[in-house]
Every structure is written in structure tokens, then in C-alpha cells.
Amino acid sequence: MLIDSHQHVYYNGLDDAGVIAEMDAFGIAVTWLLTWYLPPGEDVPATHGAFNPCNFRPDGTHAGILLNDVVQACRRYPGRFIPGYCPCPSEGSAPRLFETAYRMHGVRVCGEWSYRMLLDDPRSLELFRTAGALHAPVVLHIDAPYLPGPDGRPVYQPYWYGGGIGALERALQACPDTVFIGHAPGFWRYISGSADQDPAQYPTGPVIPGGQLYRLFDQYPNLYADLSAGSGLGAMKRDPQHARQFLLRYADRLLFGRDDHGQALQQFLLTLDLSEDVADTLFFKNALRLVPVEV
């Protein structure tokens, strides 16, 4: 069985029927369907073509993937989707909005958190604590605010989210009862000890010992991660021998997820000669432990 712990609807050309068609083709029983809200001040023009035109604003910005997109998909395909939702902590009362969506629309995942603010901003912490009290895991999109330039000096990245690995650790400490699921390039780069010296947004090449993710996983039992997208899959494929060792060590904290079309991650994991128990843990058991559902 497969549970996709990271997916979107009306994204890159697939509506809800398209997502279901892929799920059926690849043997995916259930998918976590996440919002990806973009506040007006955090518009990303290059992504406009990837999202539902119905969510385009009169001011020329795009709202991304909204709660209504997720709710309508869940109603059309009951039992196939787990609704996720993450309101913006800088707009309105995010904790109250999330709790209302939890009770009104059956939201069970707080995600995708993808905002240009520090993860340990008090407004985010209040949202995270509410999610923790409701036993809803929080899916975090993290992109580095700085990358080293050719001369080694930090270069500002305008589309950053979360504030880096230090802000993640402070959030883990501040919200010990909340499960955080790390995701995206700013998270997975820290699988390698070379993270702070690598200028690439998506690092490649052998993983260097000393990656901070090892310390964080060992120290914080509330840290999980999904293997989705070019960031998660890329972190595995850059060093397959290391990937197998990493997956075996942290199998109980890692989730299968796509955040994309196709089955590239599924196919790659099958090349690593994982035991049936480890594979099942990655493919669906961890997801069921975090969000129990009937399948």
C-alpha cells in the first residue's frame, strides 16, 4: 500500500480527477492534499502558470492553492484525500482559522507552511502549538535565505521561507508536542556537512559527513521529514549508498510523498533493496501513525 503524504490539486496541470487517475495508476490508496497559499506580498510571478487561474487576484498576484480547492476535492472523492491547510500566521488569527478548518472541514494536516517569516516567529509558534494540541502534523517548506556566492560571501535569496536550520531548531524546542515534517531545499541541503559551503539551491554530489539533519533527528523526536519533490528525492539520489543507510537509520521518521507527478521516488526506493518492513514503514505506516485513517 502507498500513502502520498505531500500533494497538491490544481497544480502543474492536474485537477482532482487527474490526481486520482495517477493515484490509481501507481497504487496510491490515500493522499494528503495540502494548501499552498501565497499572500499578496509574497507573490511569485514565475509560478502563476502552475496554479489554478481561478485563484488569480485582481491586483495581479496569485493566491496559489486555497482551502476551498482542497475541500471541494475531498468532497468529490471521499476516502481518497486527507485535507491539509495552513493559514498565513501574519494574516488574521491563524490558530483559530486552523482549528475551525479542523472541526468544520476535517483538516488533519497543517500544511503546507510556506511563508517568508522565521519559523520561530511567535505568530507561527502559536499556530504550531494549536496544530500540536489537535495532533495534526505540520508540513514545513524551508528555503534558505542566503546561499554562498562565488567569493564565499552570503547572497540573499528573495524567495526564502522559514529562515534556515537555526529557526527550525528553535521551533522544535518551542513546540515539543508538535510533529514537524521537514521538506524542500532549505531542509534537505542539511543532510550533508557541506550545506553551508554549497552554492547550489539543490546540492548534488556525495553527502559529506556532519550533516545537521543527523543531530536534529537524534535530538528532537518531534522531527519527521517527507521524501518528496526534487529536494527529498534529490537528497537521496545524490548519494544512493548514503541514502540507504540514512533511510534505515531514520525509517520511523520518514514519509513517502510526491509533491509532483509521476512515480520517480517510488521507483528509486525500490532500487535500494530495503526490507519489506522498512519499505512499508516509509510507504504508509508512518503516515498512518501520524494521521490514522481507514484504508
Reported as a single tens digit per residue, the pLDDT across 168-209 is 999 999 999 999 999 999 999 999 999 999 999 999 999 999
Report, as an integer, the average pLDDT of 64-77: 98
Q: What is the 3-state secondary structure (H, E, C) of the chain?
A: CEEEEEECCCECCECHHHHHHHHHHHCEEEEEECCEECCHHHCCHHHHHHECHHHECCCCCECEECHHHHHHHHHHCCCCEEEECCCCCCCCCHHHHHHHHHHHHCCCEEEEECCCCECCCHHHHHHHHHHHHCCCCEEEECECCEEECCCCCEEECCCCEECCHHHHHHHHHHCCCCCEEEECHHHHHHHCCCCCCCCCCCCCCCCCCCCHHHHHHHHCCCEEEECCHHHHHHHHHCCHHHHHHHHHHCHHHEECCCCCCCCHHHHHHHHHCCCHHHHHHHHHHHHHHHCCCCC
pLDDT computed for residue 195 by the predictor: 96
Structure confidence at residue 163 as a pLDDT band (50, 70, 90): very high
pTM: 0.98
Say what percent of the chain tops pLDDT 70.
100
Q: Residues near 60 by Cβ (< 8 Å), separated by ≥ 6?
A: 43
> How deeply is 280 buried, as exposed, middle or buried, from its count of CB atoms within 10 A (0-12, 13-18, 19+)?
middle
pLDDT computed for residue 294 by the predictor: 79
pLDDT computed for residue 237 by the predictor: 98
Question: The C-alpha cell of 223 is what?
Answer: 522531527
Spans of all domains in the chain: 2-290
Structure confidence at residue 117 as a pLDDT band (50, 70, 90): very high
Report, as an integer, the average pLDDT of 236-243: 97
Q: Residues near 232 by Cβ (< 8 Å), separated by ≥ 6?
A: 183, 188, 225, 226, 257, 259, 265
Residue-averaged pLDDT of the chain: 97
pLDDT of 220 strictly over 90: yes
65 - beta bridge partners? 36
Task: Look up residue 5 and give its amino acid.
Answer: S
Reported as a single tens digit per residue, the pLDDT across 2-21 is 999 999 999 999 999 999 99
Class of domain 2-290: alpha beta
pLDDT computed for residue 93 by the predictor: 96
> Which sign, positive or negative, has the C-alpha torsion 241, 208, 261, 115?
positive
pLDDT of 295 strictly over 90: no
Please state whether the peptide bond connecting residue 99 to the residue before it is cis, i.e. omega within 30 degrees of 0.
no
The CA angle 95-100-101, to the nearest 5 degrees, is: 100
Say what percent of the chain tops pLDDT 90.
98
140 - beta bridge partners? 113, 182
Structure confidence at residue 57 as a pLDDT band (50, 70, 90): very high
Q: Residues near 196 by Cβ (< 8 Å), separated by ≥ 6?
A: 148
Is the separation of the CB atoms in 174 and 125 below 8 Å?
A: yes
Reported as a single tens digit per residue, the pLDDT across 251-289 is 999 999 999 999 999 999 999 999 999 999 999 999 999
Taken as a whole, the chain contains a residue count of: 295
pLDDT of 228 strictly over 90: yes
Cα distance between residue 205 and residue 18, in whole Å: 34
Cα distance between residue 18 and residue 14, in whole Å: 5
160 - beta bridge partners? none
